[in-house]
Amino acid sequence: MSDASLGKETIETRVNTDLTRVSDYFALLKPRVMSLVVFTGLVGLVVAPGSLHPVLAITALLCIAVGAGASGAINMWFDADIDAVMERTQERPIPAGHVSANEALAFGTVLSIASVVLMGLAVNYVAAALLAFTIAFYVFVYTMWLKRRTPQNIVIGGAAGAFPPMIGWAAVTGDVSAESLVLFAIIFMWTPPHFWALSLWRDIDYAKAGVPMLPVVAGRDVTRRQIVLYSALLFPVAVMPYVLGYAGVFYGIGAAILSGLFLVLALRVWRQKDEESAKQLFAYSLLYLFLIFATLLGESLVRTVI
Amino acid sequence: MARDDDRHKRQRIRNLAVGGILIALVILFYLITVVKMSGGAGA
pLDDT at A118 over 90: yes
In angstroms, the CA A185 to CA A235 distance is 11
**Cα distance from N-terminal residue to C-terminal residue, chain B:** 60
Q: Are A143 and A30 in contact (CB under 8 A)?
A: no
ipTM: 0.71
Other CB atoms within a 10 A radius of the CB of residue B24 amount to 11
- Residues contacting residue A86 through CB under 8 Å, at least 6 positions apart: A205, A206, A208, A209, A211
Q: How far is A53 from chain B (nearest CA, A)?
A: 5
Q: Does B17 touch chain A (CB under 8 A)?
A: yes
**Chain B residues with CB inside 8 Å of A122's CB?**
32, 36
| Averaged pLDDT of chain A | 90
- Mean pLDDT, to the nearest integer, of A125-147? 95
Query: What tens digit of pLDDT does each residue of A211-259 get?
Result: 888 988 899 999 999 999 999 999 999 999 999 988 999 999 999 999 9
- Model's pTM, two decimal places? 0.87
Partner-chain contact A7 B6, CB within 8 Å: yes
As a dihedral over the C-alpha atoms of residue A227, residue A229, residue A230, residue A232, rounded to 10 degrees, the angle is 120
Percentage above 70 pLDDT, chain A: 93
Burial degree of A50 (CB within 10 A; 0-12, 13-18, 19+): exposed
Partner-chain contact A11 B5, CB within 8 Å: yes
Q: Are A73 and A108 in contact (CB under 8 A)?
A: yes
Query: What tens digit of pLDDT does each residue of A38-54 get?
Result: 999 999 999 999 889 99
Q: How are the residues of chain A apportioned to helix, strand and coil, as percentages rounded to the nearest 5?
A: 85, 0, 15
In angstroms, the CA A104 to CA A115 distance is 16
DSSP summary character for residue A219: -
Partner-chain contact A52 B2, CB within 8 Å: no
Partner-chain contact A172 B42, CB within 8 Å: yes
- Mean pLDDT, to the nearest integer, of A69-81? 95
CA distance to A42, A93, A241, B17, per residue, from B24 (Å): 21, 26, 37, 11
Is the C-alpha dihedral spanning A270, A239, A255, A42 positive or negative?
negative
pLDDT at A70 over 70: yes
pLDDT at B43 over 50: no
Question: b/e map of A76-108 (b: 16 or more CB within 10 Å)?
Answer: bbbbbebbeebeebeebbbbeebbebebbbebb
In the prediction, which pLDDT does A180 show? 95
In angstroms, the CA A68 to CA A85 distance is 24
